[in-house]
Chains A and B, each alone.
Chain A
Amino acid sequence: MLLTALPVVLLAYISVTSFEIGYAWSDREVVGGANYARLASGREVQFWPSLWLSLFVTAVSVTVKLALGLSVAVVLNRKPRFEHLATMLLILPMAVNPAIAGLIWKLMLSFDFGIVNALLQQIAGIKVVWLGQSYALLSAIIVLVWMHFPLSALMLLAGLRSIDPDPLEAARLDGCSDRQVFWRIVFPQLAPVVIGSCLLQSILAFQSFGPIFTLTDGGPGSATTILPMYVYKVAFGIGEIGLAAAAAVVLVVIIMALCAAMLAVGKREQH
């Protein structure tokens, strides 16, 4: 417990100092809430946009991940042929290093020699500047979805498998359509798993760093500078560790809140 609490406490302490890279640690001054005031005031022009962008990226990517995961889980639940092979293929993205995930997609989405543009040109005769100003955010979301949707699919599949099939059969015999059975009987029972998966995915999406770092490095400009990228830029780009720590504390607080919500849902489910 001490081991895990120590870095957090140290981070909180750094966030109220003026420490910068290039200065001795002993030169730091305790500046109280000054770093937080700077962030809140909007003088650090990238802070608020990065926070909103993070929320946006999280909301969109989690929605897509859950929809994709649920659709796959429903089909897998019917025990299709080669189910084992399908699960194996689905698990693959989960095994990939985040930095490499960003790089593979950077290669695939490259304007000149990316496979995606090559295929698009064959089919529709167009080429898209995937990593340019207008589409970089979409590309980042695609990568995040690719990395994490299998986790949702497996969680939801496990949820579906734990539902008692007898009432479903009974409802069907009583003349309910498949759609009615799913949305009226299956989905309400699945809701806790959906919520849990949603919160877990939010936690993962909100703190994504590796894939964005290698895919776009937060750019072009600040088009994909989500909060973790902002922390990185301020800490290791500009070197203002104290200010970055304050932004990092904001990030930690949001993640903790999501984590607490997840535990609360889990607990309610047990009762």
Chain B
Amino acid sequence: MRRLRHWIGTAWLWLVCAFAAFPLAYMLATSFKTRAMLYEPARVLFVPTLDNYRAAVLQYGLHKYVVDTLVVSLANVALCMVLGTAAAYGLHRFALRYKALVLFSILSARILPSIALVIPFYIIGTVFGLLDTYFILIVAFVVFNLPFVIVMMKSLFANVPPDQEEAAMLDGCSRAGALAKVVLPQIRHGLFATAIMSFMAAWNEFTYALFLTSSNVKMISTAVVFFKTERGILWGEVSALGVIAMIPVIVLCLATQKYLVKGIA
């Protein structure tokens, strides 16, 4: 009886895993299919074609999307890490009034609905003529990513015993020096994981990218939306683009799986 239940449990687990992974596998397969093959969705064996990838690059300038998304995401990570580390360190080490309130407002900003916050950014963009520039998108991304970095860094700082830092300061280090030479090296793994997670968040962000950019700055997450033509959605090209958009995220996700799971726990 127990054995049977065990077996059913394992079967269920793999069924759910299949549910989780199948759509991505299906997209991968679709990206290698010709348009005619779309009408045979269940066909497993086919001669793969690279036409969709070629069309995505040559006709739709996929590389421009990749470069722009990289620029915005990396700028966002750099800014967030610098500002976030400083802010988290301040929150952690210095007595601050209304600490709980500050933390609450920071945390809530991370999970506020982007469709609501995009409205003020859109207005700022219109009034100052900043729509469709790297600048407004980077600022918007910092606003939604910074809170996350602060919370993560703060929990990392909590693990470093304060006496080491104090010892370094007694030996003549400034506070910034102690932070850079003693504290940060100890939490470098967590630091790295935080940077990667905020990179992924920026790379995958959709709402701000959709409403704040158009023809000048091209974000990969919104590119899929523009693949609707009079002939309907170009599924092959969309799938190719989806695969390319996902590769960096999945690589980073698997590489930092350990930290991700730890971060959730």
Any chain B CB within 8 A of the CB of A252?
Answer: yes
Kindly identify which residue among A104, A151, A251, A259 contacts B24, using a CB–CB cutoff of 8 Å: A104
Any chain A CB within 8 A of the CB of B213?
Answer: no
A115 contacts B42, CB within 8 Å?
A: yes
Any chain A CB within 8 A of the CB of B41?
Answer: yes
Any chain A CB within 8 A of the CB of B177?
Answer: no
Any chain B CB within 8 A of the CB of A263?
Answer: yes
Complex CA distance for A25 and B130, rounded to whole angstroms = 14
B41 contacts A115, CB within 8 Å?
A: yes
Complex CA distance for A96 and B201, rounded to whole angstroms = 10
B242 contacts A104, CB within 8 Å?
A: yes
List the 5 closest A-B pairs by CB distance, nearest first: A158-B265, A4-B109, A248-B116, A207-B113, A10-B120
Any chain B CB within 8 A of the CB of A222?
Answer: no
Cβ contacts A253-269/B at 8 Å (1 or 0 each): 00110011001000000
Any chain A CB within 8 A of the CB of B16?
Answer: yes
B147 contacts A74, CB within 8 Å?
A: no
Q: Which residues of B contact A245 (CB under 8 A)?
A: 119
Kindly identify which residue among A74, A98, A118, A154 contacts B204, using a CB–CB cutoff of 8 Å: A98
Any chain B CB within 8 A of the CB of A93?
Answer: yes
B12 contacts A210, CB within 8 Å?
A: no
Complex CA distance for A1 and B249, rounded to whole angstroms = 29
A14 contacts B20, CB within 8 Å?
A: no
B253 contacts A25, CB within 8 Å?
A: no
Cβ contacts A81-108/B at 8 Å (1 or 0 each): 0000011111111111111110111111
Q: Which residues of A contact B41 (CB under 8 A)?
A: 113-115, 118
**Which of chain B's residues has its CB closest to A28's CB?**
B123
Q: Which residues of A contact B249 (CB under 8 A)?
A: 95-97
Complex CA distance for A97 and B136, rounded to whole angstroms = 21
A1 contacts B105, CB within 8 Å?
A: yes
Kindly identify which residue among B105, B238, B239, B246 contacts A96, using a CB–CB cutoff of 8 Å: B246
Any chain A CB within 8 A of the CB of B126?
Answer: yes
- With A3-B146, A207-B113 known as contacts, the answer to whether A158 contacts B120 (CB < 8 A) is no
Q: Which residues of A contact B2 (CB under 8 A)?
A: 178
Complex CA distance for A93 and B24, rounded to whole angstroms = 8
Any chain A CB within 8 A of the CB of B245?
Answer: yes
Kindly identify which residue among A99, A161, A241 contacts B206, using a CB–CB cutoff of 8 Å: A99
Q: Which residues of A contact B102 (CB under 8 A)?
A: 1
B30 contacts A107, CB within 8 Å?
A: yes
How distant is A20 from chain B, measured CB to nearest CB, in Å? 12
Any chain A CB within 8 A of the CB of B47?
Answer: no
Tell me the chain B residues, 99-120 only, with Cβ under 8 Å from chain A.
102, 104-109, 111-117, 119-120
**Which of chain B's residues has its CB closest to A84's CB?**
B257
B143 contacts A74, CB within 8 Å?
A: no
Any chain B CB within 8 A of the CB of A271?
Answer: no
A231 contacts B120, CB within 8 Å?
A: no
* Interface of A (DSSP majority class): helix
Q: Which residues of B contact A19 (CB under 8 A)?
A: 123
* Additional A-B contact list (14), CB under 8 Å, known A92-B250, A93-B23: A3-B146, A25-B126, A86-B17, A88-B254, A89-B21, A90-B20, A92-B20, A95-B249, A100-B221, A100-B245, A107-B26, A119-B42, A122-B42, A244-B119
A100 contacts B107, CB within 8 Å?
A: no
**Residues in chain A within 8 A of chain B (CB atoms):** 1, 3-8, 10-11, 14, 19, 25, 68, 71-72, 74-76, 78, 80, 86-101, 103-108, 112-115, 118-119, 122, 146, 149-151, 154-155, 158, 161-162, 178, 203, 206-207, 209-210, 213-214, 228, 231-232, 235-236, 241, 244-245, 248-249, 251-252, 255-256, 259-260, 263
- With A1-B105, A78-B9 known as contacts, the answer to whether A11 contacts B235 (CB < 8 A) is no
Interface size on B, residues (CB 8 A): 77
B265 contacts A75, CB within 8 Å?
A: no
A11 contacts B207, CB within 8 Å?
A: no
Any chain A CB within 8 A of the CB of B14?
Answer: yes
21 CB < 8 A contacts A-B: A4-B106, A7-B121, A8-B120, A11-B116, A71-B12, A72-B12, A75-B10, A92-B20, A92-B24, A99-B210, A114-B41, A118-B41, A154-B264, A162-B265, A213-B206, A235-B119, A241-B122, A241-B123, A252-B112, A255-B113, A263-B104
B105 contacts A4, CB within 8 Å?
A: yes
Q: Which residues of B contact A103 (CB under 8 A)?
A: 224, 233, 238, 242
Any chain A CB within 8 A of the CB of B260?
Answer: yes
Complex CA distance for A88 and B258, rounded to whole angstroms = 11
Tell me the chain B residues, 146-193 only, with Cβ under 8 Å from chain A.
146-147
B116 contacts A80, CB within 8 Å?
A: no
A86 contacts B14, CB within 8 Å?
A: yes
A90 contacts B206, CB within 8 Å?
A: no
A80 contacts B10, CB within 8 Å?
A: yes
A25 contacts B224, CB within 8 Å?
A: no
